[in-house]
Chains A and B, each alone.
Chain A
């Protein structure tokens, strides 16, 4: 059915060859740093909890900077200019913050064998209900994110000239097969290839394309002219921010940075590291990726100068996500465009694999084992997780094929607002138990309800949508008078969440001891490798040894 003449053969061949080579790597990965068996979540789901600094740098970097980011951030600059650049301050500041907090999470998870953020919440706050809410929030926020990786691959496919849906299905079947087979080792190994390709492409692009387009000055001039043509209010665009956008810009950067390490896949990457020191080293070195992201973002403005027109999407509207692939197609010789497309395509595989593993672990540990089969053995847990990872990916494919892709983009937007509601239970929980479990539940519920309501109540004049029009909420609607200033919805919802959690905790002060804290203060500063302690073998049918019980 595909019109063959429209397909660029060179691009397609290089894309397919690289894609298949990497898939082979994914299958081989099960033998890399091989464990005795993969019949344990620590092995399948966390790669043996033994990745050193270099592997972790590639793995976490490959995990957080997804194909969707590489396609969507430039697309945002193409559409609105300066506002899209929030991704740079966002990814700069998240790491210093995580540098302080993440080692504590690593330590307590190491001592207690926690695999998911909800495991920690269960152990710390002693409430299965709260842990369930955290797990469901995590799964709900991750699912659309996986689906969006398909949007990234789809944008590349359409640029090459393939319009059907079967390539996406094949790509995800391959991905599902080697994730099932190799677990977290697959994306860890593939991340090396992915990042090498991405760095190569970005470095070439940032030098070669501006030279062909007549320099950066000409690029920004063209962007300025384009933005000047469109009437600004109510959604201003421009090469720099309009005044009402300033608060929105910084609150979006700040709120997104808070949200990032709450995502289950980010936690999976953290917990797969070998030591607390590895985590700290990585938080210091990871911002280097932000530089690449910043350069990539500028590609969106270059596309304006190059006169790129987005392809029409399946829903009949222009799909701005095709801007970067089209720019590569236009500027590069076919063979290099093929490499660039492969970089984006492979870039989708790493995070999609980690996200599906993280979501599967949440289901297995915090729903299946907690509510359905309390006595599940580790081998059963691993088996369950592997199966669920397949279900999750199948679900993502169905969502993309059946529903408008815009739906996934909306969901991902919601995802950021939703996942940041788990921050009080996780981050504050890492420092103090001052917040009562029911206080955290109440705060979560209020933050969630307020966040969803505000998103629903956000129209977008540019796209003509009446609901879920964007992550910015007008201060005027919050009762701040007649102003055009907007603020990131997630930050407002989180503030409400915290206030409710504190108030309810104060009201329940006297009832604090009803929930058991299984962790000890010492757990939060533990480092790997104490020679005086061994892994103790416990038969599965024995009752749990209360390791950290007071």
Chain B
């Protein structure tokens, strides 16, 4: 236990470990397909250009377009981000 040491002191390389001095605490995350991050431009453009949705109709359950359109982007963004998360996740 090294709970009484802090910060930089707590993590040091173990020369005896496989890979020796080249390894530090933690392993390298092997995320892939990071080009998929560009998909995030979609919700950014869709929600940051109010000219696209700044109007009253069509209504949904009596709610003007302005409001339900932006709300709809919440689940859409969650789905998109989960998709990107899965596709970019490396093997454990």
Contact = CB atoms under 8 A, between A and B. Distances in A.
A523 B26 CA distance: 9
Contacts of A100: 37, 40
Contacts of B23: 530, 532-533
Interface string A513-550: 00000101011011111101111111010101111100
A252 B40 CA distance: 19
Contacts of A240: 54-56, 64, 66
A377 to B, nearest CB: 7
Interface in B1-39: 1-14, 17-19, 23-29, 31, 37
Interface residues of A, number: 86
B47 A253 contact: yes
Contacts of B14: 532-534, 536
Contacts of B63: 216, 220, 298
A42 B3 CA distance: 8
A29 to B, nearest CB: 19
A112 interface: yes
Interface in A213-252: 215-220, 239-241, 246, 249-250
A88 B53 CA distance: 13
A294 B3 contact: no
Contacts of A161: none
Contact of B28 (A43, A290, A377, A522): A522
Contact of A96 (B8, B18, B44, B89): B44
B24 A548 contact: yes
Nearest to B78: A287
Interface string A1-43: 0000000000000000000000000000000000111011111
A525 B9 CA distance: 20
B67 A246 contact: no
A199 interface: no
Contact of B29 (A99, A284, A295, A525): A525
A288 interface: yes
Given A93-B47, A216-B61, A538-B2, A112 B27 contact: no
B48 A280 contact: no
A523 B23 CA distance: 10
Interface of A: 35-37, 39-43, 82, 85, 88-89, 92-93, 95-97, 99-100, 103, 107, 110-115, 119, 123, 215-220, 239-241, 246, 249-250, 253-254, 276-277, 280-281, 283-285, 287-288, 290-291, 294-295, 298, 365, 377-379, 381, 518, 520, 522-523, 525-530, 532-538, 540, 542, 544-548
Interface of B: 1-14, 17-19, 23-29, 31, 37, 40, 43-44, 47-51, 54-56, 59, 61-64, 66-67, 70-71, 73-75, 77-78, 80-82, 84-85, 89
Given A96-B81, A240-B55, A536-B12, 20 more contacts: A42-B6, A88-B71, A92-B47, A92-B77, A97-B40, A99-B81, A113-B10, A123-B8, A246-B51, A276-B29, A284-B84, A288-B74, A291-B75, A378-B6, A381-B6, A527-B26, A532-B19, A536-B14, A540-B4, A548-B8
